[in-house]
Amino acid sequence: RKAQQEERRGLPARTRDGHAVEIGANVNRPDQVPVALSQGAEGVGLMRTEFLFLERGDAPSEEEQYETYRAMLAALDGRPLIVRTLDIGGDKQVPHLQLPHEENPFLGVRGARLLLRHPELLEPQLRALYRAARDAAAGAGEGSLLIMFPMITSLREIEALRAACDRIRAELAAPAVPLGIMVEVPAAAIQADILARHVDFFSIGTNDLTQYALAIDRQHPELAAEADSLHPSVLRLIRMTVEGAAKHGRWVGVCGGIAGDPFGAALLAGLGVRELSMTPRDIPAVKDRLRDSDIAGLRALALKAVDCETADEVRALDGGAS
Ligand code: PEP
Ligand code: MG
């Protein structure tokens, strides 16, 4: 039975009518990779690198980061690894960095905004990543690294981050690495057709996108439960992102919590999302759900969902596999 279960987990998330969705794991450390693979992950869709800073009392050096990224790539043995550059600020405070206190940190200097103001954080990380990409490409198990930037709001940020990547890549004689952004601010979703021209892929962070779309602090003791990623407004932002990306032939993933919910995953696939990344333990149920569906049915489901009036109405569409 165990062997049967393992075998099923290893099958791709392909719908009955042959539409494949890529399944990644949200994993932060190399020692978590084998667990993710045993659950059926096909790669890492989100490595939250702020954990490298949060798990200790100081900032890891470029060398230490390099070792970690190499170990991740080695553990993945050629499968894709999407590394998100530091997403500090908001709910992810790192006391030892002694950053200034903010009255409203979710609307403050966080994610890409912080990186662009702190080259002493951005540059060692990019150097470590490009060195890892270069040395993995030279080694046996061909590495497959992608870099993604958090909390992007406007094109200027993408241009500045790309320029830093280009410079560091040239200095290190490193190979090109696909560069993507997280879509987690409504402004980025609404302008997806513009931003898509300048990046290789999008990954939608539905946790933050929901918080910013609904104006509900994702950690609010009273309100957080209402920060529902199935709210039709959020689904419409996801649809806009997919449509904007398609204009330039870019693919879209989702790495927020909704990707790990079987019904959410089905809806996202119907909206045209190509990759879903989630907590490893959520993978088997999501794969089963997609494998029991037809993409035509999921598209019809998604069309209905974006026209719903409330999140409850969206949820009521869940009649099991479609
Ligand atoms: C998100 O915002 O959905 C996301 C995946 O990033 P994090 O939860 O780390 O903010
Ligand atoms: Mg986020």
* Atom in ligand 1 nearest the alpha carbon of residue 184: 2
The residue-averaged pLDDT of 214-221 equals: 94
Spatial separation of the C-alpha atoms in residues 30 and 28, rounded to whole Å? 7
Residue 285 pLDDT exceeds 60: yes
> Cβ neighbours of residue 69 under 8 Å, at least 6 residues apart?
81, 83, 128, 129, 132, 145
**Centroid of ligand 1 to alpha carbon of 48 (angstroms):** 9
The residue-averaged pLDDT of 85-97 equals: 92
DSSP state of 79: S
Spatial separation of the C-alpha atoms in residues 163 and 314, rounded to whole Å? 42
Do residues 294 and 41 make contact, with C-beta atoms less than 8 angstroms apart? Answer: no
Distance (Å) of CA 232 to CA 9, 14, 196, 213:
31, 26, 23, 11
**Centroid of ligand 1 to alpha carbon of 151 (angstroms):** 9
Model confidence pTM above 0.90: yes
pLDDT, tens digit (0-9, with 9 covering 90-100), for 96-115: 998 999 999 999 999 999 99
Q: Which residue has the tokens 């969902």?
A: 305
Q: Which of 125, 29, 133, 145 is nearest to 85 (CA)?
A: 125
CA quadruple 120, 162, 278, 73: dihedral positive or negative? negative
Cα separation of the two ends of the chain: 27
User: To the nearest whole number, what is the mean pLDDT of the chain?
Assistant: 95
Q: Angle 262-271/283-291 helices, nearest 10 degrees?
A: 50
Question: For the chain, how are helix, strand and coil distributed in percent, rounded to 5?
Answer: 55, 15, 35
**Centroid of ligand 2 to alpha carbon of 93 (angstroms):** 13
What pLDDT band is residue 7 in, cutting at 50, 70 and 90?
A: confident
Q: What are phi and psi of 301, to 5 degrees?
A: -60, -45
Residue 231, by phi and psi: left (phi above 0), alpha (psi -120 to 50) or beta?
beta
Q: How many CA atoms lie within 13 A of 249 on its CB side?
A: 0
pLDDT, tens digit (0-9, with 9 covering 90-100), for 131-181: 999 998 776 555 699 999 999 999 999 999 999 999 999 999 999 999 999
Q: Which residue has the tokens 């997403």?
A: 87
Nearest CA residue ID for atom 9, ligand 1: 48
The residue-averaged pLDDT of 42-68 equals: 95
Spatial separation of the C-alpha atoms in residues 195 and 124, rounded to whole Å? 26
Residue 157 Cβ inside 6 Å of ligand 1? The answer reads: no
Provide, rounded to the nearest whole percent, the portion of the chain with pLDDT above 70: 98
**Centroid of ligand 2 to alpha carbon of 5 (angstroms):** 32
Spatial separation of the C-alpha atoms in residues 27 and 7, rounded to whole Å? 22
Spatial separation of the C-alpha atoms in residues 171 and 154, rounded to whole Å? 27
Provide, rounded to the nearest whole percent, the portion of the chain with pLDDT above 90: 89
Q: Per-residue DSSP letters for 86-100?
A: P--BTTB--GGG-PP
Predicted local distance difference test score (pLDDT) of residue 1: 74
Amino acid (1-letter code) at residue 217: D
Predicted local distance difference test score (pLDDT) of residue 321: 61
> Cβ neighbours of residue 320 under 8 Å, at least 6 residues apart?
none
Predicted local distance difference test score (pLDDT) of residue 140: 57
The residue-averaged pLDDT of 69-92 equals: 95
Q: Which of 309, 283, 303 is nearest to 35 (CA)?
A: 283
Spatial separation of the C-alpha atoms in residues 35 and 83, rounded to whole Å? 18
Predicted local distance difference test score (pLDDT) of residue 55: 85
